């Protein structure tokens, strides 16, 4: 069990800016320093772990304290005078429970321990109306039978103060009725929640798994046959289809009891009235008036800051970390220092694929894959119910959103990936940074997040931009910025595999949140439900860039072919002898096998490999320089994809060029034989 864990409030930082670190530590004290990360993987075949200690104001002893992970999403509506329902009232909603019998779940509640009112699912999955008597005792009336999972129900709970009768209805039928004197006001400071209930201690609990649609609240018990139960007569009449791209929850009644979502429950999901004809929430918003809550959603762990670094001016751009050490544990919390805005310190930039780090963050082991190893980091993520965009929620639905405001357990320099047993993400990209440094190539470090927000201006003055090993998760602004960079004569070296693949959205209000949907499910991964294939954050179709105009092969010549859990070398193709590309192969023999070594499966072509295909956009003048084949592909074949890695080179009209290796394992081969090898050359 890990006793020392932390995260930073940002991933990319400029000189002069502050970055805060949040730590959970079971020991009484720990020591913190800032280090520059040079190389991570500790395999004996590589250069080993390398870091450099920096002298900063951070260095020192800190008091340890445990900071918890509390997942679970809900909607909160702050307490307001119109919510004080002292007379009759009625609450209504459409609900779609996905795990009805998992324990008490709050649906629409204004509840505080033993006071107030609320629609709940009881411990066995029955629909229940809870009402406080005002004396600490609680009246619970129940539907008497558990609800089915993955079915829509229209549910109402009401109390008539004149008859003193509380009524619970399901799909228009009264399922339970009870006469009792009640006092249902929980007190002034209790908020209304959807998808959870409040506790006496002042925190949410009883997280619901499933969807809630069209929640309504009335200050009278609505009579059967009462025609106008619209926003004009309601105390609150929430429209969950409004503001789907935001965290706002709009009340269309005159009381304006607006709320907000907490921990990113899924929006842009189908409601009870979805017809199946239109698949985008933009085309039929009235059919998307629902929110899908999960008891393991987590947008912001909300930990307190333990120490802050003001990045010293003049600090070289690169990858750094807060290094934490207690008597029994250590940890690194990585971050990236960018060059001063508008003042690049080199003519080479490395674009670190931080959205891919974020997508894979806290990926826990899932079937049908067999883990090659399980790290402490994986166990901690699983124990704390953290999820990545590869995982399923506890109710079996796919995880749409990723956030960096929580520990990202596998974003660690030494981390080895459970699926491959090798470095992945940051660990693989440090192989490239270490090689650049060893070879004396000055470079700046940039991130996906920087490119997404700043566009081509970020790249404008660089001669060459290098990608990391696995730049898979790509937003539309990023693709367009890279295209503009190439069109302006820039040179792009794509030193990875599975790149520019998944259409990724960034939340407009919460830049630490990314989103995907999977229209075309890939073997072994979750797929989006029908009608839920459009991103709530951007409205884009959730698919691969292969299905968009900006295809990966158009951008970099090669595109994802297959996953392969082995390494193979490249062999030269005739294109490598073309004078246009001869410079790439200086010092390499014509029949030389390239990259039959490396820290990733012992081959420069490994893990996920990309190939050329003119049908999918590879420019016709692209030169195939070399290829690696003879792999055993993993997973079910998709389309007619082949397990091969193609190395290509092509020029762009205004003097720019692209060089691509089409393999995630390439960078991890650079350090072989003390950096003296034909990949490094
Ligand atoms: Fe990937």
Tens digit of each residue's pLDDT (9 = 90 or more) over 221-243 = 887 767 668 898 999 999 999 99
Name the percent of the chain lying above pLDDT 90: 85
- The predicted model gives 443-465 an average pLDDT of 97
Cα–Cα distance measured from residue 228 to residue 128, given in angstroms and rounded to the nearest whole number: 26
> Is a pLDDT exceeding 90 seen at residue 134?
no
Cα–Cα distance measured from residue 564 to residue 635, given in angstroms and rounded to the nearest whole number: 9
- The predicted model gives 363-369 an average pLDDT of 87
- The predicted model gives 599-626 an average pLDDT of 95
Tell me how far the alpha carbon of residue 471 lies from the centroid of ligand 1, in angstroms: 8
Tell me how far the alpha carbon of residue 424 lies from the centroid of ligand 1, in angstroms: 10
Contact 14, 310 (CB under 8 A): no
Tell me how far the alpha carbon of residue 433 lies from the centroid of ligand 1, in angstroms: 20
CB-based burial of residue 342 (10 Å sphere; 0-12 exposed, 13-18 middle, 19+ buried)?
exposed
Query: Which residue has better confidence, 520 or 43?
Result: 43
Contact 588, 595 (CB under 8 A): no
Tens digit of each residue's pLDDT (9 = 90 or more) over 379-431 = 999 999 999 999 999 999 999 999 999 999 999 999 999 999 999 999 999 99
- The predicted model gives 206-235 an average pLDDT of 89
pLDDT at 637: 57
Tell me how far the alpha carbon of residue 655 lies from the centroid of ligand 1, in angstroms: 31
Name the pLDDT band for 193 (thresholds 50, 70, 90): very high
Tell me how far the alpha carbon of residue 608 lies from the centroid of ligand 1, in angstroms: 7
Tell me how far the alpha carbon of residue 6 lies from the centroid of ligand 1, in angstroms: 25
Tell me how far the alpha carbon of residue 268 lies from the centroid of ligand 1, in angstroms: 25
Cα–Cα distance measured from residue 147 to residue 610, given in angstroms and rounded to the nearest whole number: 47
What is residue 534's DSSP assignment? B
Tell me how far the alpha carbon of residue 473 lies from the centroid of ligand 1, in angstroms: 8
- The predicted model gives 128-148 an average pLDDT of 93
pLDDT at 681: 72
Tens digit of each residue's pLDDT (9 = 90 or more) over 286-343 = 999 999 999 999 999 999 999 999 999 989 999 999 999 999 999 999 999 999 998 9
Cα–Cα distance measured from residue 534 to residue 269, given in angstroms and rounded to the nearest whole number: 9
Name the pLDDT band for 557 (thresholds 50, 70, 90): very high
pLDDT at 369: 84
239 phi, psi to nearest 5 deg: -110, 95
> Is a pLDDT exceeding 80 seen at residue 481?
yes
Cα–Cα distance measured from residue 480 to residue 61, given in angstroms and rounded to the nearest whole number: 46
Tell me how far the alpha carbon of residue 252 lies from the centroid of ligand 1, in angstroms: 43
Tell me how far the alpha carbon of residue 314 lies from the centroid of ligand 1, in angstroms: 35
Contact 650, 580 (CB under 8 A): no
Q: How many CA atoms lie within 13 A of 477 on its CB side?
A: 17
Could you give all domains of the chain from N- to C-terminal order, each with its CATH number? Answer: 4-66+303-334 (2.60.40), 74-293 (2.60.120.200), 343-669 (no CATH)
pLDDT at 357: 98
pLDDT at 570: 96
Contact 192, 215 (CB under 8 A): no
pLDDT at 432: 96
Tell me how far the alpha carbon of residue 520 lies from the centroid of ligand 1, in angstroms: 15
Cα–Cα distance measured from residue 193 to residue 106, given in angstroms and rounded to the nearest whole number: 8
Tell me how far the alpha carbon of residue 359 lies from the centroid of ligand 1, in angstroms: 9
Tell me how far the alpha carbon of residue 470 lies from the centroid of ligand 1, in angstroms: 7
Most confidently predicted of 63-77, 79-93, 523-537: 63-77
Tell me how far the alpha carbon of residue 472 lies from the centroid of ligand 1, in angstroms: 6
Cα–Cα distance measured from residue 681 to residue 670, given in angstroms and rounded to the nearest whole number: 9
Cα–Cα distance measured from residue 7 to residue 406, given in angstroms and rounded to the nearest whole number: 6
CA 9-363-552 angle, 5° bins: 90
- The predicted model gives 128-133 an average pLDDT of 94
Tell me how far the alpha carbon of residue 664 lies from the centroid of ligand 1, in angstroms: 9
Size of the chain, expressed as the number of residues it contains: 681
Tell me how far the alpha carbon of residue 462 lies from the centroid of ligand 1, in angstroms: 27
Tell me how far the alpha carbon of residue 498 lies from the centroid of ligand 1, in angstroms: 6
Tell me how far the alpha carbon of residue 235 lies from the centroid of ligand 1, in angstroms: 48
> Is a pLDDT exceeding 70 seen at residue 639?
no
pLDDT at 632: 84
Contact 453, 446 (CB under 8 A): no
- The predicted model gives 253-278 an average pLDDT of 98
Tokens found for residue 392: 């399923």
Tell me how far the alpha carbon of residue 100 lies from the centroid of ligand 1, in angstroms: 34
Tell me how far the alpha carbon of residue 163 lies from the centroid of ligand 1, in angstroms: 62
Name the pLDDT band for 30 (thresholds 50, 70, 90): very high
Tell me how far the alpha carbon of residue 301 lies from the centroid of ligand 1, in angstroms: 26
pLDDT at 227: 63
């Amino acid at each position: 069990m890990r006793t020392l864990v932390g995260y930073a409030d940002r991933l990319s930082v400029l000189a002069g800016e502050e970055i805060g670190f949040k730590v959970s530590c079971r020991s009484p004290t720990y020591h913190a320093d800032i280090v520059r990360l040079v190389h991570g993987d500790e395999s004996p075949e590589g250069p080993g772990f390398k870091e450099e200690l920096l002298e900063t104001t951070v260095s020192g002893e800190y008091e340890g304290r445990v900071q918890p992970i509390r997942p679970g999403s809900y909607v909160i509506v702050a307490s307001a005078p119109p919510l004080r329902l002292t007379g009759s009232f009625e609450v209504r909603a459409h609900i779609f429970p996905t795990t009805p019998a998992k324990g008490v779940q709050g649906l629409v509640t204004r509840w505080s321990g033993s006071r107030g009112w609320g629609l709940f699912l009881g411990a066995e999955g029955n629909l229940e109306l809870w009402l406080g008597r005002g004396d600490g005792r609680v009246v619970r009336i129940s539907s008497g039978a558990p609800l089915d999972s993955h079915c829509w129900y229209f549910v109402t709970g009401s109390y008539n103060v004149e008859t003193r009768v509380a009524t619970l209805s399901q799909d228009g039928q009264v399922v339970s009725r009870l006469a009792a004197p009640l006092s249902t006001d929980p007190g002034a400071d209790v908020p209304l929640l959807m998808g959870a209930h409040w506790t006496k201690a002042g925190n949410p609990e009883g997280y619901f798994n499933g969807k809630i649609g069209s929640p309504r609240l009335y200050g009278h018990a609505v009579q059967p046959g009462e025609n106008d139960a619209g926003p004009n007569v309601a105390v609150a009449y929430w429209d969950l289809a409004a503001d789907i791209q935001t965290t706002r929850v709009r009340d269309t009644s005159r009381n304006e009891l607006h709320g907000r979502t907490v921990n990113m429950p899924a929006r842009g999901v189908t409601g009870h009235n979805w017809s199946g004809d239109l698949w985008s929430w933009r085309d039929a918003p009235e059919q998307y008036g629902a929110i899908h809550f999960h008891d393991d959603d987590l947008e912001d762990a909300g930990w307190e800051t333990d120490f802050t670094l003001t990045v010293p001016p003049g600090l070289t751009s690169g990858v750094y970390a807060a290094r934490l050490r207690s008597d029994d544990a250590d940890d690194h919390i990585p971050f990236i220092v960018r060059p001063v805005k508008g003042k690049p310190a080199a003519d080479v930039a490395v674009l670190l694929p931080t959205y891919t780090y974020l997508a894979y963050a806290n990926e826990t082991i899932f079937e049908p894959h067999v883990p090659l190893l399980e790290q402490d980091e994986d166990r901690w993520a699983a124990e704390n119910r953290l999820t990545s965009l590869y995982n399923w929620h506890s109710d079996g639905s796919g995880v749409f959103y990723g956030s960096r405001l929580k520990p990202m357990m596998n974003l660690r320099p030494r981390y080895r990936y459970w699926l491959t047993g090798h470095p992945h993400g940051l660990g693989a990209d440090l192989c490239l940074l270490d090689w650049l440094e060893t070879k004396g190539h000055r470079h700046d470090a940039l991130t996906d997040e920087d490119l997404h927000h700043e566009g081509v201006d970020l790249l404008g003055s660089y001669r060459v931009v290098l990608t990391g090993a696995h730049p898979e998760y790509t937003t539309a602004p990023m693709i367009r910025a890279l295209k503009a960079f190439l069109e302006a004569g820039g040179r792009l070296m794509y030193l990875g595999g599975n790149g520019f693949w998944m259409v990724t959205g960034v939340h407009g209000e919460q830049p630490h949140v990314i989103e995907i949907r999977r229209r075309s499910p890939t073997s072994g991964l979750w797929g989006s439900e029908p009608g839920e294939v459009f991103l709530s954050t951007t409205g884009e179709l959730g698919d691969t860039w292969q299905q968009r105009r900006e295809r990966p092969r158009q951008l970099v010549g090669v595109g994802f072919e297959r996953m392969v859990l082995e390494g193979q070398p490249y062999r030269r193709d005739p294109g490598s002898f073309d004078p246009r590309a001869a410079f790439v192969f200086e010092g390499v023999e014509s029949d030389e096998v390239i990259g039959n070594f490396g820290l990733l499966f012992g081959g420069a072509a490994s893990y996920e490999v990309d190939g050329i295909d003119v049908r999918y956009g590879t420019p016709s003048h692209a030169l195939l320089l070399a290829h690696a084949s003879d792999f055993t592909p993993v997973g079910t074949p998709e389309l007619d994809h082949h397990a091969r890695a193609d190395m290509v080179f092509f020029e762009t009209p205004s003097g720019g060029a692209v060089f691509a290796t089409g393999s995630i394992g390439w960078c991890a081969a650079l350090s072989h034989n003390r950096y003296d090898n034909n990949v490094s050359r």
